[in-house]
Structure 1
Amino acid sequence: MSTLSSTTNKNKETTVGVLITRRTLRRLQKQKPSLNIIKLQEANEKAKTKLYMFTLKEIDFNRDIIYGIYFNPSTNRWEKGKFSLPDVFYRRSGSLNQTIQRKLQKKGVKFLNSPKGFNNWEVSLLLLQNKDLCSHVPLTRKCQSFKDLTKMFKRTNTVYLKSYIGGRGKKVMRIIKQPNKAYHCSYFNKHLIEHRVNTFEAFQKTIRSFYKKEFIMQEGIDLLTVDGYLVDMRAEVQRNGNGNVEVTAIAVRRGKKNSPITTHSESYTFDSFYKNVLKYSDQQVSTFKEEVTQFLKKVYEQVEEGYGRCGEMGIDFALDKNNKLWLIECNSRSAKVSLHKAFDQQTVNQSFLNLLEYAKYIAKEKSERKYASHYQ
């Protein structure tokens, strides 16, 4: 576990602007910040950065001004303020369109994380280009017609459907073909929903109502289970104050009964799960953790080939029943739910401090960040 630390910035204070939702803004105005905002502000005090929050509507490009909200330590309250454009832009909400992204880049603003969300199809293509990672990506195809899905079921009895842009399991559906040719489907929409139909044709209406836009399909992997519950992992991977990739935390998530995902689940630290639940020896835990760490760093750097350098990613991955690693999904920003559930405060605090230390690192760079153009 890394030690909580902060480097001294001899230059001017680095300004970090955080893009938030209207809902989050209203909460701040009512002095009711979320836990993640509280932790980010605490990290701000250690990193000695200048932090403020805003929504896209508050940007005035004509005057290079943002009307945001910041924490005033003298009054111990969140207050409105007028700010210049930040040195570093941290996207905690939504996705920037190309026009706003280019305007910010033209003004010299750098991005802490990807200015737009990761596209599941594009990420799959990126990972397949890497000879060390391609075998860890489930078979993935675009679903452009129900004929495509029929073909996929000829290869496997379990198929996962995902929207191109997802997050927190909101647009993930699992379909299992039963031995009697019926189909069972499950997905989350505020709570777990399950359907069973006798024919594939009867199921098409459910899919059409769930996916309004394009989606992909992936072959289901025979994942590790514990007492019949799916198990996967969420890694918090970041660049630190030296610009190096660091695996800050790995949480193991055990899903709920019949759930297609483990997002809404119990969480354990990596060490405690493999030592106490799966009964790995200390040496086995250490060896496996090193293997996982190297795997995660390769995934992180490969995704950056398409999206540019990123200050953080939430990477979902899992073991199958033959102990092979599989990549499930990469997230351009992490809600840190499993991190809060499983880890001690020092680890949680370090994850937020890493972000702001990395912001200081890129703010001091003379050369502008480079973004691959073929995915923008």
Structure 2
Amino acid sequence: MWVKFKLEQSDKDIIFLPLSMMGMYPNRVFVCFGGKTVNAVVKYSEFFDLSINSTYEDPGIIGISIGLRNKLLVPEMITYRICVERNAISIGPVIGLLLGNNIYRYSPRHMEKYSDRFGIYDKVGGLIYAFSPRTVNWKKRIAFGLYYDNLSHSWDYGYFPLPEVIYRRDFHSNSNDIKRLIKETGGRLFNSCRFTKFEMYKYMNKNEELRDFLPPTQLTQDFGQIISFIDKHVRVILKPIDLSRGRGILIIEKDGYNYKVTDYRMVLPVVTTYRINELREFFNQNNSLFNKYLLQQFLSLATIDGCPFDIRVVMQKRADRIWRCSGIECRVSKNGSHLTNISRGGYALSFDKAIQRSFGEQATTFYEGIVLFCRKFCNYMDKSGEHFSEFGIDVAIDVNQNLWLIEANVFPSFKGFKKIDLQSYFNIRYAPFLYALSLTKYGDCEELT
């Protein structure tokens, strides 16, 4: 059922229900809102109405005293879902967007980038607010943050009860705070962890079915190890284990006694050819490459007009909590570059067009195999003990039409979809809220699917 609240002048804890509900409930009920519960007096009035046929557009009206509003911290202008039980009335949902520790950045203007996720607010309703672990008052079980007002399409500051579901949007918070929030929500904090590239590799390598899709990979240790790896694979890529968007990458290719290094750590790539002693000196001067760097065989990817491309597959859970493909885009490198990242000059292309232009075949030839692999990947990640609801999975097809897993990110970028498939872009943006609702008592799979 859907409701809006009418504020009543009383400092006592009172909830006002329609006369038609008189006798259905005791004189006092527990009123629940997110992490807050208040034992309130029940009163009835002919001025209120609540029907099981209420909708977001035509909600019921019930009353709430100022005293009860202040204890529950309910923004009264929002349209809510309500779940009525014998001794309890639950109002919600209360969904949190967990941001990072840089609280000075979080303003209504900053939050505007999240506003395009609310195109399905009429299917979710309730309080959706952004907060930081640093703004939580653990003793009072409340948080300071910004909530979305769907009427004004704006973000406003306030204090709110801890959410019943949390969508994690930052991965630099204190691990103890995350564990505490997981406990507070009964495990309903999703995207609970972001694996580094090497952690992901080690976990995938344990699975006999999935390890065949992994290129040879090692964690950098010393120069001798790197040279041995290059001698074996000829072309290798070095990339940081905890960065994304093509940052910090180097490509090394062996050509006879020479080693060609393409260094993408700067805005513009720097290409230098070294003899082995010069290469050793290069690594001595850049010893950070032995710290949290991954060494991997460089794959000869399929190309479009001579430019390599890879494939971003967005896998998400929605109301039915089943992993589904929300969209596939291909990212093509700019001329002369090894990197396909759009942030490094690459461009997005639809999957159908990319496969046709590269292989001259229909996309369905590859689509089913790619989605099947990605679903197996996601189901295996669910066995890790963490709680996930979305992945941006980067895969690639090499010149021999073999499928490879490049990496997977629990905090992926969807920029390409906005240009090539706007509806898929919005569906991707909406999915986490639909999934969050499904984790609450207000979720209804048939209504949301």
- TM-score over 0.5 for the pair: yes
Q: 2:300 matched to 1:216?
A: no
What are the within-5 Å matches in structure 2 for residues 108-119 of structure 1? 108-119=185-196
Q: CA deviation at 1:103?
A: 1.0
2:181 and 2:189 in contact (8 A); partners too: no
Q: Give the corresponding residue for 1:136.
A: 213
Q: CA deviation at 1:356?
A: 1.1
Alpha carbons of structure 1 residues 74 and 358: separation in structure 2 relative to 1, 3 Å: closer
> Which of 202, 222, 232 is equivalent to 2:281?
202
Which deviations, in whole Å up to 9, do the C-alpha atoms of 1:26-83 show, x marking residues without a partner?
474337722xx12223333432242111233222222211111122234443210111
What are the within-5 Å matches in structure 2 for residues 1-376 of structure 1? 11=83, 12-21=91-100, 26=105, 28-30=107-109, 33-34=112-113, 37-189=114-266, 191-198=267-274, 199-205=278-284, 207-209=286-288, 211=289, 213-264=291-342, 265-275=346-356, 278-281=359-362, 285-306=363-384, 308-344=386-422, 346-364=423-441
Q: CA deviation at 1:125?
A: 1.6
Q: CA deviation at 1:207?
A: 3.8
Q: CA deviation at 1:184?
A: 1.8
Between the aligned partners of 2:286 and 2:235, the Cα distance in structure 1 is 15
Between the aligned partners of 2:240 and 2:216, the Cα distance in structure 1 is 16
Between the aligned partners of 2:121 and 2:247, the Cα distance in structure 1 is 31
Between the aligned partners of 2:435 and 2:210, the Cα distance in structure 1 is 26
Between the aligned partners of 1:124 and 1:182, the Cα distance in structure 2 is 27
The structure richer in strand per residue is 2
Q: CA deviation at 1:303?
A: 2.5
Indicate the percent of aligned positions where both proteins have the same amino acid: 23
Q: Which region of structure 1 is more displaced relative to structure 2, 118-127 or 56-65?
A: 56-65
Alpha carbons of structure 1 residues 30 and 121: separation in structure 2 relative to 1, 3 Å: closer
Between the aligned partners of 1:225 and 1:118, the Cα distance in structure 2 is 29
3-state SS, counterpart of residue 238 of structure 2: strand
3-state SS, counterpart of residue 325 of structure 2: strand
Q: Give the corresponding residue for 1:371.
A: none
Which deviations, in whole Å up to 9, do the C-alpha atoms of 1:169-204 show, x marking residues without a partner?
223322222345132223254x23223142312321
3-state SS, counterpart of residue 56 of structure 1: strand
Which deviations, in whole Å up to 9, do the C-alpha atoms of 1:57-115 show, x marking residues without a partner?
22222221111112223444321011111112212223333211221122125445322
2:167 and 2:432 in contact (8 A); partners too: no
Between the aligned partners of 1:183 and 1:66, the Cα distance in structure 2 is 53
* TM-score, normalisation: structure 1: 0.85
Q: Give the corresponding residue for 1:370.
A: none
Between the aligned partners of 1:46 and 1:134, the Cα distance in structure 2 is 40
Q: Which region of structure 1 is more displaced relative to structure 2, 194-203 or 18-27?
A: 18-27
1:187 and 1:259 in contact (8 A); partners too: no
Q: Which region of structure 1 is more displaced relative to structure 2, 157-166 or 43-52?
A: 43-52
Q: CA deviation at 1:21?
A: 4.9
Structure label with greater radius of gyration: 2
RMSD value, Cα: 2.6
1:43 and 1:352 in contact (8 A); partners too: no
Letter in 2 for 1:15: V
3-state SS, counterpart of residue 192 of structure 1: coil
2:182 and 2:189 in contact (8 A); partners too: no
Which deviations, in whole Å up to 9, do the C-alpha atoms of 1:324-375 show, x marking residues without a partner?
000000101112122223212x22221122211111222349xxxxxxxxxx
1:126 and 1:302 in contact (8 A); partners too: no
